[in-house]
């Protein structure tokens, strides 16, 4: 469906808890809940059709660590789950998909192993999303600890050619800052790739969501919302109503 705009409430998991980091910094962490599943359930109960989950431990260690919470949510809740963090192999991809997860996000591995990513896109199609995290337009990897020499747009076009339909674009400078998303960069990526882009990072108000939604015809297909919900700027239900 073109012009569809989906709200993805976010659950970042570390040490089995729900946390938020500021700009991906593991030293700037706030814990918002002891149970990722309970948090996911509260989002689904408020009407969320999708939930975005991130295994922060997995992203750092390069392997699945908090996957049990993700699978429980996928199997027990009336919402679709997308997961990122720590997905490095086809075994990881299959593990999630066969256990009910709707979409698997390839981030660092997409940048570092384009051939593997191309293969996954060929096999699993739209069940794979590509996570592009950019700092000043350049792609960052490994939990944002490293910046590559590729621009998000160059990489986006390459993966679009490989068959990617959905991208999750994070402007790291806005992430966790509640400063408003980088709408311009997100829209540019959507127009250049011609694919669905989910905006991530910086959403601080319902008006941010409205502004993003106005770009749905350009290809901005949704927004991931984390800190704004946890700091009670608005609820998932309010976001969905807008």
Active site positions, annotated: 12, 133
Cα(47)–Cα(167) distance, integer angstroms: 23
Q: Is the dihedral of CA 146, 152, 157, 163 positive or negative?
A: positive
CB-side exposure of 61: number of CA atoms within 13 Å? 10
DSSP for residue 143: T
**Which element (helix H / strand E) includes 118?**
helix 114-124
Which positions ≥6 away from 230 have C-beta within 8 Å?
18, 20, 30, 32
DSSP track, 65-84: SSHHHHHHHHHHSSSEEEEE
């Amino acid at each position: 469906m073109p012009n569809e705009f989906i709200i993805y409430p976010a659950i970042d998991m570390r040490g089995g808890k729900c946390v938020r980091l500021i700009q991906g910094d593991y030293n700037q962490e706030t814990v918002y809940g002891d149970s990722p599943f309970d948090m996911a359930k509260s989002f689904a109960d408020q009407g969320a059709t999708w939930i975005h989950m991130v295994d922060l431990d997995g992203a750092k260690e390069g392997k699945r660590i908090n996957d049990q919470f993700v699978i429980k949510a996928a199997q027990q809740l009336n919402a679709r789950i997308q997961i990122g963090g720590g997905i490095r192999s086809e075994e990881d991809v299959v593990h999630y998909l066969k256990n009910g997860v709707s979409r698997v996000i390839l981030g660092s591995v997409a940048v570092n192993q384009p051939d593997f990513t191309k293969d996954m896109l060929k096999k699993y199609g739209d069940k794979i999303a590509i996570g592009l995290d950019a700092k000043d337009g350049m792609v960052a990897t490994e939990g944002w600890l490293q910046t590559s020499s590729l621009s998000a747009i160059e990489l986006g076009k390459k993966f679009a050619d490989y068959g990617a339909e959905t991208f999750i674009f994070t402007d790291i400078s806005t992430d966790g800052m509640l400063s408003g998303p980088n709408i311009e960069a997100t829209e540019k990526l959507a127009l250049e790739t011609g694919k669905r882009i989910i905006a991530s990072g910086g959403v601080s108000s319902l008006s941010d969501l409205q502004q993003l939604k106005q770009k749905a015809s350009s290809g901005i297909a949704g927004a991931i919302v984390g800190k704004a919900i946890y700091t009670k700027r608005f609820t998932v239900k309010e976001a969905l109503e807008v």
